[in-house]
Amino acid sequence: MSEQPAALQIEQFDPAAIRAAIFDFDGTLAATDIDFALMRQGVLDVAERWRLTDNLDQKRYILEIVDDAGALLTDAADRERFREEAAEAMRDVELVFTSVAAPYPGIPEMLEQLRDYGLRVGIITRNCRAGVASVCERHPMHHEVLLTRDDVARVKPDPAHLHEALEALGVAPHEALMVGDHVTDIEVGHAAGAWTAGVLTAKTAREQFAEAGAHLVLDSAADLTAVLCVSARLREGRA
């Protein structure tokens, strides 16, 4: 069996249609290696103090556990205090790991090349803003829009997260490519009406991206240069 190419076309995809690339952060642009089990336990410890754990599905994603637990509190002030405590528990874990995190090889260069060829760049992430900032301050990565979990009311895979980024960039969904390392990134792209690209990691296999309907599957987000910038050169007659 022949080796699969770095970029596998799942269905018809027109790179010339793309005016913006929107990226997930953790696992796509940067290797943060956050201990999510530790973060989950921190949130559950907060929920236990509030006596909420008996009615929680502890296998849910962490942010969804926070939402579920908060919904069990009838008093608005209590909900707000619980959310603040849970957010602090998540942030405490996240900042330990992002303080030493770095982008994957070729990522800063890829983002600069997208800018050079006139493509808009955004990041949407379930990470906290302080965590992303701690990486970008040490390792600058070009982007025009950054929307973390601290910046939006509804995080991905809710399409509102991606729609807010596209609105800020002034780009229509059908002109955008959502790039991420998890099937939820593909889900949010489809839900928002955007094109999608999956980035292979230990988390998600090629077959899972194919099942989710990813239009492209990449070995690394850095490979996006070969897909989008070549098309941009052709559009501008620069090839």
Q: Measured between alpha carbons, how far apart are the two ends of the chain, in Å?
A: 33
The pLDDT score that the predictor gives to residue 202 is: 76
Question: Do 17 and 236 form a contact (C-beta atoms < 8 A)?
Answer: no
Residue 9 pLDDT: 43
Cα separation, 201 vs 185, in Å, equals 13
Q: What is the pLDDT of residues 123-174, one digit of tens each?
A: 999 999 999 999 999 999 999 999 999 999 999 999 999 999 999 999 999 9
Class in CATH terms, 8-32+102-236: alpha beta
CA 36 to chain centroid, in Å, comes to: 15
Question: Can you read off the two tokens belonging to residue 176?
Answer: 């955008």
pLDDT per position as a tens digit, 20-54: 999 999 999 999 999 999 999 999 999 999 999 99
Q: How far is CA 17 from the centre of its chain?
A: 22
Domains in the chain: boundaries: 8-32+102-236, 36-98
- C-alpha to C-alpha distance for 18 and 88, rounded to whole angstroms: 38
Q: Return the minimum-mean-pLDDT range out of 1-15, 169-183, 198-212.
A: 1-15
Alpha-carbon distance of 29 to 73, in angstroms, equals 37
CB-CB contact of 26 with 125 (8 Å): yes
Mean pLDDT for 77-84 is 97
CA separation for the pair 48, 57 (Å, rounded):
13
pTM: predicted TM-score of the whole model, two decimal places: 0.89
Q: Look-up: residue for tokens 């050169």? A: 233
